[in-house]
Amino acid sequence: MQTAEEKIDPPLRGLFVAGSGTDVGKTVVTAALLRALLLAGINAQAVKPVQTGVAPEQANTAPLADARVYAAAVAGMPQSAAMLPATALHCFSLPASPHLAAAREGAHLSCAGLRSDIICHSRVSTAEMLLLEGAGGLRVPLNEREDMLDLMASVGLPVLLVGGNYLGGLNHILLSLDALRHNGLQLAGVVLVPSADPAAGCPGVDVDAMLADNAAMLRERLAQQGLTAPLVELPR
């Protein structure tokens, strides 16, 4: 039976931008998608459920604040005057995983609490779509029992997976795809972003061939699983 809240609130519209790991390009991809949607006339808003390494009062100005990247992506666009500013629902000063950063400040995160915060935000937001950007990879812990993947399953939005394209990255992306599938999450697409050192410090690697092969292998695996979600390669 539906609760009163479920009867009143319309379904969330948007995407959950997740990563195969930390520092794989989630924020840049979220910012690029925000700009593309704005150019297409869609009023989207970037939302960070949990931002670490940033004090609450510096949510838009700190060096590690993702909102700065979002703002830079749409700066100067005439459409940006009417768009909603990016927002972080929770900010913690320690640059660490959400559970550790929250614990340092005496806070406790939960999927139920974060989902409620997202729903509450969607009620007051006039955006047509929310772009929810995760923190770290899929299994980054939110507390002792729950992680980012649990939050994604709770929210239920299609997932845009951002994967680092580097030596060893294919394994991380394939494991992430397995986790999404086993948790019943819809894959909206995969974005490959080369790391700063795709060879991972290993001498003699043919970087161009490896990056191309990673993309080709992923497309083949997606096709084998009957997935039609696009795979996009972005330059560094």
Catalytic residues, by residue number, are 48
Please count the CA atoms within 13 angstroms of the CA of 111 that sit on its side-chain side.
15
b/e 103-120 (16+ beta carbons within 10 angstroms → b): beeeeebebebbbebbee
How far is C-alpha 80 from the chain's CA centre?
21
Compute the distance between CA of residue 51 and CA of residue 132 in angstroms, rounded to an integer: 11
Compute the distance between CA of residue 122 and CA of residue 13 in angstroms, rounded to an integer: 9
> How is residue 110 written in tokens?
């939960």
Residue type, 100: L
